[in-house]
Amino acid sequence: MSDNRVVQQRIDRVVLADGAALSYATVGTGRPLVYVTGWLTHLELSWELAAERALYEALAPGCRLVRYDRAGCGLSPAVDRPASLAFELEQLGAVTAALGEPFDLIGTSMGAPVAVAWAAAHPETVRRLVLYGGWVRGDDLSPPAVREHVLGLDESHWGLGSDVLTDIFAPDADRATRAEVARYQRACSTAATARALLALSYELDVSDLLAQVRAPTLVVHRIDDRAAPVAQAEALAGGIDGAQLALLPGRSHLPYAGDRDELVRVIRRFLGLPVARRRTDGLTARQQEVADLVSQGCTNREIATRLGISERSAEGHVERIRLRLGVRSRAQIATWFSARRGLRELG
């Protein structure tokens, strides 16, 4: 899907009825793919964050990817209006009105219930709907005491709050990436805006809207997502007529953390966009051999002996495979490999 040219985004603005301005960015050409992000955004800084930019560059070929900074985030100035689902839909409506045609719609994290609400209210505008890392009821995400603790941290100590949330959102990312994401979050908005949007996440409830969604829908979720329980994905898919549910290994909530490539493949395939061939599912030939031996129950020492490498090298391969797949244990590597082998045999 890549032709080795440098991909650039174009940033424009739309104006809401009350005069508030929103910044949005487009990448690529073709039918529109509108991306509603979760929580905090910054169009320029996200483009500079290597892992996040790689996600957008992988999604964009063959379509026109459209993202925007919600009010008070990134390049969109703050407004004197409280965060609410109605305001979220107004902002999404202003951006999509500039497109002048129906579009595919992706909602990630907090953007997922927003996308559900939009698709339910404006079925004629949405070709296909993708919901990643979302939920039906924000009240079910965590116990009240935990929510109040995190909201309090964001309000009183934004630095610590962003660090805590990054550990929840991207546990599979390396330490340097987590530190970069935490800094990025702090640069996206003020502490007050961060708290208000996080509070809105917990307040969103689209349980009464699911049955009204008519667009073909894909619900994709990482099984061990630490921010949004997988039961919420099952509830989303169960409530939308004909929705497909794709569960991927991993525990990172951020779509660009963990196995980003497989997530992109699943989404592009559903949207009818070309999917690049992926060498041995993203593992090197050696890692594929190691994963095979792990699935056979071999220890690191036994893997080393079989492959003629040091035990330390075998341990390193297993760890890199674990991080690549976004899983936590050897057992999950074995399960993944066995499932992929079964699919190859069926094919």
- pLDDT-derived band at 252, boundaries 50, 70, 90: confident
Pick left, alpha or beta for residue 244 (phi over 0 → left; psi -120 to 50 → alpha; otherwise beta).
beta
pLDDT for residue 96: 97
Question: Picking from 126-140, 197-211, 260-274, 308-322, which range would have the lowest pLDDT averaged per residue?
Answer: 308-322
Evaluate if residue 156 carries a pLDDT over 80. Answer: no
Beta-carbon-side half-sphere exposure of residue 35 (alpha carbons within 13 Å): 21
Specify the higher pLDDT residue, 162 or 278: 162
Question: What is the average per-residue pLDDT within 196-220?
Answer: 97
CA distance 114 to 134: 10
Instruction: Confirm or reject CATH 3.20.20.10 for domain 10-271, answering yes or no.
Output: no
Q: Do domains 10-271 and 279-346 have the same CATH topology?
A: no
CATH entry 1.10.10.10 includes domain 279-346: yes
> For the chain, what is the mean pLDDT?
88
Q: Is 187 a residue whose pLDDT tops 50?
A: yes
Task: Count how many Cα atoms sit within 13 Å of the Cα of residue 196 in the half-sphere of its side chain.
Answer: 19
Q: What is the pLDDT of residues 94-124, one digit of tens each?
A: 999 999 999 999 999 999 999 999 999 999 9
Q: How many CA atoms lie within 13 A of 130 on its CB side?
A: 26
Residue 172, CA atoms < 13 Å, CB-side half-sphere: 29
Q: What is the pLDDT of residue 159?
A: 66
Domains of the chain, residue spans: 10-271, 279-346
pLDDT given at position 347 = 46
Q: Which of 196-205, 211-220, 277-286, 311-320 has the lowest mean pLDDT?
A: 277-286
Mean pLDDT of 307-314: 85
53-69 confidence digits (pLDDT tens): 889 999 999 999 999 99
The pLDDT-based confidence of 142 (bands split at 50, 70, 90) is: confident
